[in-house]
Amino acid sequence: MKKNNLKGWLYLLPALLFLGAFMVYPLIDVLIYSIEEGYNSASQTFFGYGLYNYSYVLHDPYFLQAINNTFILVAITVPISTGFALLISLALNSIQKLKDFFQTVYFLPYVTNTLAVGLVFMILFKKTPYSEGLVNLLISWFGGRSVDFIDGPYWAKMFVLCFYTIWVVLPFKVLILTSALASVNQDYYKVAKLDATPRWRVFTRITLPMISPMIFYLVITGFIGAFKAYSDAVALFGTDLNGAGMNTIVGYVYDMLYGNSGGYPSYASAAALILFAIVLTITCINLMVSHDNVQY
């Protein structure tokens, strides 16, 4: 038995070493960083311990802006993307012809580089001295006034960010919901058909309850994902997100760590922990709500 003990740990050793160095240690370290006041990256010294970093971050207008942007993004994209994914999946499930084709097409955004395709979105929405851009052309066809979606007013920028985020996250949700819908026992539908149950009633009384665990799974992961939004914003507005007024919480963390405004790992740690607390709270609320409503 002793020999087996040694062997077990030996097989685990590589994983333990990597996880220890790059997950467990950083986890402790981030807590320490966040309470070290006046930490200096160059000399690696600090004055003392306290909560100053948190107070600094919470009073930083850039952070407040980032919080604001992130909450708006979450509040818009999570419900819309989940609802729309449900609609698409229901449509997909009700057809036979071209189903494979549509499924393949819808999945494409998942396998593309967010930064690269974001650049395409940027040129579609951007107004330059040479061209109004394609989206503005469409708007003018319908008699609207052109808007610069990339450097223009706040709501326009937020619209593009939300639109792109939904475009990026939809494949995953559609995939999960289509397979959830396909796995609902067809006998329920047959019985409903015998009884001539109206379509809407079939949906609310059979389909929705049967797939509710998957919907809640998507809502929970959707919240977590949307709170961590960052690279979509970079793809559209460039790396200077503070300048564009479109920074997100994660973006703020990285800006504090590195780049032109970087070199403050303490502030970055405090901001990251605040984000973690927010996400944890929201997830707990979600779990409590789902516990009351989901039928397993």
Site for other proteins in 210-239 (CB under 8 A): 218, 221-222, 224-225, 228, 230-231, 234, 238-239
Tokens (6 digits) for 27? 């986890």
Which member of 57, 150, 176, 211 binds other proteins (CB under 8 A)?
176
- Tell whether residue 94 is a contact of other proteins (CB under 8 A): yes
Site for other proteins in 252-271 (CB under 8 A): 253-254, 257-258, 265, 268-269
Q: Write down the residue that tokens 């009633």 correspond to.
A: 201
- Tell whether residue 43 is a contact of other proteins (CB under 8 A): no
- Tell whether residue 284 is a contact of other proteins (CB under 8 A): no
How many other CB atoms sit within 10 Å of the CB of residue 263?
15
- Tell whether residue 154 is a contact of other proteins (CB under 8 A): no
**178: nearest Cα among 106, 108, 234:** 106
Q: How far is the CB of 61 from other proteins (least distance, A)?
A: 21
Which member of 46, 52, 56, 107 binds other proteins (CB under 8 A)?
107
Which member of 9, 47, 49, 203 binds other proteins (CB under 8 A)?
9
Which member of 4, 185, 186, 295 binds other proteins (CB under 8 A)?
4
- Tell whether residue 106 is a contact of other proteins (CB under 8 A): yes
Q: How far is the CB of 201 from other proteins (least distance, A)?
A: 15
Q: How far apart are CA 79 and CA 219, in angstroms?
A: 8
Q: Which stretch binds other proteins (CB under 8 A): 1-9, 45-53, 67-75, 149-157?
A: 1-9
Task: Please list the residues that pair with 40 across neighbouring strands.
Answer: 45
- Tell whether residue 23 is a contact of other proteins (CB under 8 A): yes
- C-beta separation of 97 from 275 below 8 A: no
Task: Please list the residues that pair with 36 across neighbouring strands.
Answer: 49
- Tell whether residue 29 is a contact of other proteins (CB under 8 A): yes
By C-beta, is 153 or 198 nearer to other proteins?
Answer: 198
Q: How far is the CB of 55 from other proteins (least distance, A)?
A: 19
Q: What is the DSSP string of 218-273?
A: HHHHHHHHHHT--HHHHHHH-S-HHHHT---HHHHHHHHHSSTT---HHHHHHHHH
Q: Please report the sign of the dihedral spanned by the C-alpha atoms of residue 90, residue 94, residue 100, residue 105.
A: negative
Q: How far apart are CA 18 and CA 28, in angstroms?
A: 15
Question: Rounded to whole angstroms, what are the CA distances from 275 to 217, 261, 272?
Answer: 20, 19, 5
